[in-house]
Structure 1
């Protein structure tokens, strides 16, 4: 990802048929995250995909 300093990072999440949630990709620009989620959703599987702000990792 080519990020611009102070630009929020986004992630793509997936929920399966059983309600389990998984991280698909992180540290993406908003347009990249939206495009990936839409591409995965268009495949027609029963999973749900969405984007959300990527939380910074804890230092330590």
Structure 2
């Protein structure tokens, strides 16, 4: 298993659909990386993508 796979990655990309259901899409070691991915996904169709820190919900 790679070092990245076993490291804590506290920044989550979350997708919320039109019914309010929330899904964890991926996790990243830095907020900046998670925000780049969320921004890229936001432009690809319906759904809202947000970044949250693990253990916290905005």
Provide TM-score, normalisation by structure 2. 0.71
**Correspondences of 1:4-43 after superposition (within 5 Å):** 9-43=10-44
Per-residue deviation at 1:24? 0.5
Q: 4+ residue stretches of structure 1 with deviation over 6 A?
A: none
Whether contact under 8 Å (1:41, 1:47) holds in the other structure is: yes
Deviates more, 1:20-29 or 1:34-43: 20-29
Provide TM-score, normalisation by structure 1. 0.69
Structure 1 unaligned segments of length 5 or more: list them. Answer: 2-7, 56-60
Note the aligned Cα RMSD (angstroms): 1.7
Structure with more of its chain in helix, by fraction: 2
Structure (1 or 2) with the larger CA radius of gyration: 1
